[in-house]
Chain A
Amino acid sequence: MASLPKRIIKETERLITDPVPGITAEPHDDNLRYFEVTVEGPVGSPYENGIFQLELYLPDDYPMEAPKVRFLTKIYHPNIDRLGRICLDVLKTNWSPALQIRTVLLSIQALLASPNPNDPLANDVAEDWIKDEEAAKQTAKKWSKLYATPKQ
């Protein structure tokens, strides 16, 4: 694909002119389909005060195909594995071309607020989560502090 589809251009523009609170997404200079993303941990969750780095890539068939998103920051979450891959329906079978970068990132933020250990990607984390939720949340908090605290 030589030229960038209008949809991607417009989405990028709108992300800049009308940003989502708590989320940033900036395209890479060399590849306008590749975005550097940050998501703030939702208030009230173990990830509160954490700022998580992600990468987002729009494949050739976007928007008919879902964007590829991955956490770069280490995170303790039952639906996110060690490699940062995310188990989220809208990134897979429930993707719809009417969704956008913005909506996907909001869904990811919502996933941080409400983990789903019954549909795990990181099995060990999910097990901990089911066995002792409080302890698991403490670990998540600890990891957030350790890995997702913005450097001053």
Chain B
Amino acid sequence: MGNVPTKLDDGSYQGDSRTNTSVSSSSNSNTSAASSGNRSRHASLVNAILNSGSGGAMGSPGHSRNVGPYARKSTREREEIKERHAKNLVVKYDENVDGGFMAPFGCYSFDKLDYDSGIVRGLIVNRKLAPFYTPLQDFDDSWSRMEIIKIVDGLPLHASFNENPEEFEDVPIGNLRKPNFDYLIDKSLPKKEKRRLHSKIFQARLYRKRMLWQEKANETFLEHKIEARKNTSKNKYLPSDDLKYELYKNGSECPICFLYVPGPLNLSKCCQQPICTECFVQIRRADPHFPHEEVDPTQPVTDDSEKDPNLLISEAANCPYCATPDFSITYQPPEGRRTGLGGEPPYKFTSQSQSAVENSEKHGVLTKESPLVEGDDLKPAKSVHVIMSDTIRPNWEVRLNKERMRLARRSANATAIHVSNRLIDPDYNNDGSGNGDSSPVGTNTSNRDRSDVTIEELENQMLNEAIRLSLEDKKHSSSRQRK
């Protein structure tokens, strides 16, 4: 994995309480010290060390000019990336390839579409991945050509949106034309609450925007269809009747979504099972996790902060059909149906050209059956491209490292808070060493001797922790440079 593009910082980073998502990302050491209220000066010292430790290695906070996958992005930047991604997910009728589209129909929820939309669009245009087709709920072999064309004519570009999703109920969205929506947030709220509200409003606004963008694309599609029907002048992006028929007469049911889509489908590399692109982009690595984690519901869950963050792992997705590791697919584009981007205009497509190719295809099949016929028909089998699940989500390594850093910071914070608490109150957590462990802070250092630690030793501990953090961050930044 060479250079990992800075794409779509997904929500995993948002849960990080130490990320500066607020607008004012400067002077964080002061504010966090102030928020710790009446704690002794040591608390602020701890915070100061921690902040300078992480902040220093991450590049000066507040200036997010530095690029690269680990660079801390401002809220604005992250939101812009998300909006760009959402725009890439709008299905537009004039962006078509071989009768399919560049964006998914909408069988799966938006927040699961966190693949790299730029990469996927590129793969579709280059015929290395099947396009996203509009699926049919059912298909009947007895349908006539006329019936199929009629059904295809009535297909929408995208699944219908839920007008008022529950999660955004009562969330104000303000004027969508104005990029700034700070006026919707009560300024007297605490900073954390404001941040939470900001993110919620942003999501609600994005949802609404996506809906409007798609509706606009739908309207354009409809208008142009009506125009094309009235006038004799053809719209070159709209499919001919022959194309509609060709597409859907030879489709098949995807074994994962059970929807009927035009072929050819992508095939798993390991076991040659079909999978539609909409389902393929759903197959992803599991979130970073600790190995062999026995999730035993009868036991209290061991806090992640107690484990070494460097033990976190991330494994490539397995094939859903045969569980072979490193799931990847191959795709053979239709030979007689090269329309849309990089092909002939869809309105020009005729079955004539198709049947001619079909014949040659049949010959191709025949010749293939007889072994060792030299492949002079420009069909070298080696040219098949393999698309890995990771190909369309190349940011997995960045995510893994970010998660490791997040855990490292969190455990350090817990240690620091614990240490500073002990400074104020020497008896802190000392009375009930048996049942005091339920406090998350207490568990963190429960194995250490609590009673006779001097201030100096504590200072040392804090310093060590801070240094360890800096080293960790340095390691990341230097390994990044090496790549």
Contact = CB atoms under 8 A, between A and B. Distances in A.
Interface stretch (A31-39, A93-101, A128-136, A139-147): A93-101
Contacts of A1: 109, 162
B428 interface: no
A94 B323 contact: yes
A6 B112 contact: no
A55 B112 CA distance: 27
Interface stretch (A46-54, A57-65, A105-113): A57-65
A85 B283 CA distance: 26
A7 to B, nearest CB: 4
B295 interface: yes
B453 to A, nearest CB: 37
B212 interface: no
In this complex, which of A1, A5, A64, A81 has the most chain B Cβ atoms within 10 angstroms of its Cβ?
A: A64
A123 B298 contact: yes
Given A96-B321, A97-B279, A81 B256 contact: no
A44 to B, nearest CB: 28
Nearest to B273: A98
A10 interface: yes
Nearest to A92: B295
B452 interface: no
Contacts of B431: none
Interface string B239-272: 0000000000000000111110000000000000
A98 B258 contact: no
A7 B253 CA distance: 11
A61 B255 CA distance: 16
A96 B258 contact: no
Contact of B107 (A5, A83, A122): A5
B320 interface: yes
Nearest to A2: B162
Contacts of A10: 258
Interface string B104-120: 00011100100000000
A5 B257 contact: yes
Nearest to B317: A96
B297 A81 contact: yes
B52 interface: no
Given A64-B108, A97-B279, A97-B283, A6 B259 contact: yes
A113 B255 CA distance: 29
Contact of A11 (B258, B273, B282): B258
B377 to A, nearest CB: 34
Nearest to A85: B297
Given A5-B107, A64-B112, A123-B298, A96 B257 contact: no
A105 B310 CA distance: 37
Contacts of B257: 5-7, 63
A121 interface: yes
B477 interface: no
A127 B298 CA distance: 15
A33 B95 CA distance: 36
A98 B108 contact: no
Given A6-B137, A64-B282, A121-B298, A96 B323 contact: yes
Contacts of B286: 93
Nearest to A87: B296
Contacts of B323: 94, 96
B321 A98 contact: yes
A61 B109 contact: yes
Nearest to B293: A93
B424 to A, nearest CB: 41
Interface in B317-362: 318, 320-321, 323
A61 B298 CA distance: 25
A38 B321 CA distance: 27
In this complex, which of B108, B257, B258 has the most chain A Cβ atoms within 10 angstroms of its Cβ?
A: B258
B109 A98 contact: no
Given A5-B107, A60-B109, A64-B282, A98 B255 contact: yes
Contacts of B108: 61, 64
A121 B294 CA distance: 10
Interface in B289-320: 295-298, 318, 320
A97 B282 contact: yes
A2 B283 CA distance: 23
A63 B256 contact: yes
B298 A98 contact: no
A6 B276 CA distance: 15
A7 B258 CA distance: 5
A97 B320 contact: yes
A6 B258 contact: yes
A37 to B, nearest CB: 20
B318 A96 contact: yes
Nearest to B298: A81
Interface string A53-97: 000000011011000000000000000010101000000111011
B138 to A, nearest CB: 8
In this complex, which of B259, B282, B320 has the most chain A Cβ atoms within 10 angstroms of its Cβ?
A: B320
23 contacts: A1-B109, A5-B257, A6-B257, A7-B259, A10-B258, A61-B108, A61-B109, A63-B256, A64-B282, A92-B295, A93-B286, A94-B323, A96-B318, A96-B323, A97-B279, A97-B282, A97-B320, A98-B255, A98-B273, A98-B320, A121-B296, A121-B297, A122-B298
Interface of A: 1-2, 5-7, 10-11, 60-61, 63-64, 81, 83, 85, 92-94, 96-98, 121-123
Which 4 pairs of residues, A with B, have the shortest CB-CB distance? A98-B320, A96-B320, A7-B258, A10-B258
Given A11-B258, A93-B286, 16 more contacts: A6-B257, A6-B258, A7-B257, A7-B259, A61-B109, A63-B257, A64-B282, A81-B298, A85-B297, A96-B323, A97-B283, A98-B256, A98-B273, A98-B321, A121-B296, A121-B297
